[in-house]
Amino acid sequence: MNRMPYAPVLLLGAALPLLLGTALPTPTSVLVEVDGLRSTRGLVQACLTADPVTFPDCQKDPAAQHLTVPAHDGETLTFHDVMPGRYAVALFHDENGNGRMDKMMMVPKEGYGFSRDAPVRFGPPTFRAAAFTVGTTQLRTAVKVRYLL
């Protein structure tokens, strides 16, 4: 029985995008400038997700990227190795550093913000309202932190 060697087929499959003039997508970085913190106490907890179903609760998205940094107004967060696609950012100012958004009667006691300054009406914004497109070059955006209490 004559078997076809698989190595040339695999090599051709890997090289096909290059032969056709299309490169495989390369990851880039998303830089998020945090504006409007009322103090430097605590931490800024942020996440970047491509999942509209879990947004803004990125804890439910295993593919989401999470960052935690000391609170400094004007801080720039950098999400690395982001593939091209549609994403949204959600963040909050964890002033007491307990790792969660504190609320009083369902109203956030700590500051929060979303990409594209997505509006908050009777609950968090939709993914579509906060989503932006990442291409192959580094993207820079800002998130305004808002406080209700």
pLDDT at res. 24:
82
57 pLDDT more than 60: yes
Percentage of the chain modeled with pLDDT above 70: 85
In degrees rounded to 5, what are phi and psi of residue 115? -60, 155
pLDDT at res. 3:
54
pLDDT at res. 10:
43
Contact at 8 Å (CB) between 116 and 101?
Answer: no
3-state secondary structure of 31: strand
- Rounded mean pLDDT of the chain? 90
Lowest mean pLDDT: which of 16-30, 52-66, 128-142?
Answer: 16-30
> Given pLDDT bands bounded at 50, 70 and 90, which one contains residue 11?
very low
Q: Which residue blocks in 1-149 are alpha helix, DSSP H?
A: 7-19, 127-130
pLDDT at res. 122:
87
Q: Say which CATH architecture domain 25-144 belongs to.
A: Sandwich (2.60)
The neighbouring-strand residues paired with 93 are 44
pTM of the shown model: 0.83
**Is the peptide bond preceding residue 56 cis, with omega within 30 degrees of 0?**
yes
